[in-house]
Amino acid sequence: MKNKHISFSIITILFLMLFTTPYNGCVLGNNEEDDKVTNSEEEPSEKFNYTNRKSISFPDSISDAVIHYGNQMVSFNFNKTYFIPGAGFCKSDYKNTETFNYELMSSLKELLREDFVTVESSKKNIPLLPLRTGLSGRWAILNGYEPVDYQKHGNIKRTIEDIEGDLGTSSTEKINVIGSSYGSVVAANTVISLIERENNIDEIGVLVLSASMIDPSSKLGLKLSELHQSGKIETLYYHSTPKDNITACSGTSKKEARMGFKKVVFKTSPSIMNLKKHAHNIASRTPQRAHDLLDVIIQNSEVLWVKSFKKGN
């Protein structure tokens, strides 16, 4: 009876535990974004961002967008971008305007149109949302310290298959991948496998790991850094939430990952189970933070041309 009681307690805790999809704060893995500006008629006067946009138009192809600022128009060539959300992702995220998920998806859809895809296949096949978020969050922390064999993890395998299927076998297109929280571990392993597999995907434009449990000094982090240094990942970007002890909690070994999970759930006040006060959960209800990631995509995309004009003209 004692063992059954312990098992029930653990499942109960995991049932209540919600790993949502937040982030903020940043560590940029590539400081060469100025090299991205090519073939411009004029040099940009400042770093472009999403918040200061006046409007967006699409005079050319699907992947070319013109962002209108106060006294400039800037034409970008955007890579196709895939978003791998956190464990708490559900259908309501397409409608709830007060969440990070909604703001990121709706804004990227406005900016990239058909070139933006949310990869729902990344979710683990657990039907009950609270149980799925808890078990998926646990999976992410315990597997966030080293690369895993995607053949042994159905969530990663499905994600790889969906991205490859969406691009087509003959595509040599460069893509961006954004992974949030639980989704950051799926994204990291997906990117590694996409680069290593025979699929004509040889290079990732931008990989964003948001609110991630991955430690950059772990085997998984070092593998991503190796791919970044070799040019296989152009821009590697860790985006963390202030005061969020989820950040890098997987550590550098299985032992540290287990300790990280216990710390996040049991040994921190407030616990991750506190949906109102834990930084990881607060950030999931902070939609304007999505603009930070949009800025990463914009500032690491190819600028086709820049046109300036005087206000009032």
Average pLDDT over residues 222-236: 97
The pLDDT tens digits for 235-251 are 999 998 877 888 999 99
Query: Taking the CA of residue 22 as centre, how many other CA atoms within 13 Å lie in the half-sphere pointing to its CB?
Result: 26
Could you tell me what percent of the chain has a pLDDT over 70?
77
Domain boundaries, the chain: 2-308
Higher pLDDT, 33 or 107: 107
Whether residue 1 has pLDDT greater than 70 = no
Contact 70, 164 (CB under 8 A): no
Predicted confidence (pLDDT) at residue 202 exceeds the cutoff of 90: no
Q: CB-side exposure of 133: number of CA atoms within 13 Å?
A: 20
What's the whole-number mean pLDDT along residues 221-232? Answer: 97
Residue 38 has pLDDT above 80, yes or no: no
Strand ranges across the sheet with 302-308: 55-57, 64-68, 72-77, 302-308
Q: Which residue has the higher pLDDT, 311 or 194?
A: 194
Instruction: Please provide the average confidence, as pLDDT, over all residues in the chain.
Output: 81
pLDDT, tens only, 86-143: 988 888 888 888 889 999 999 999 999 989 999 988 888 888 888 888 888 899 999 9
**C-alpha to C-alpha distance for 19 and 130, rounded to whole angstroms:** 9
Q: Which residue has the higher pLDDT, 229 or 23?
A: 229
* pLDDT at site 312: 57
Reported as a single tens digit per residue, the pLDDT across 53-74 is 888 888 765 557 899 888 889 9
- Confidence at residue 12, expressed as pLDDT on a 0 to 100 scale: 42
Strands 302-308 and 233-239, how do they pair? unpaired
Report pLDDT for 159: 96
- Could you give the CA distance from residue 254 to residue 298 in angstroms, rounded to a whole number? 36
The pLDDT assigned to 265 comes to: 81
What's the pLDDT at 289? 80
Confidence of residue 229 (pLDDT cuts 50, 70, 90): very high
Residue 275 pLDDT exceeds 50:
yes
What's the rounded Cα separation, in Å, for the pair 7 and 75?
Answer: 57
Say what the pLDDT of residue 201 is: 85
248 touches 215 (CB < 8 A): yes
Q: Which of 211, 157, 164 is nearest to 186 (CA)?
A: 157
Residue 24 has a pLDDT of 35
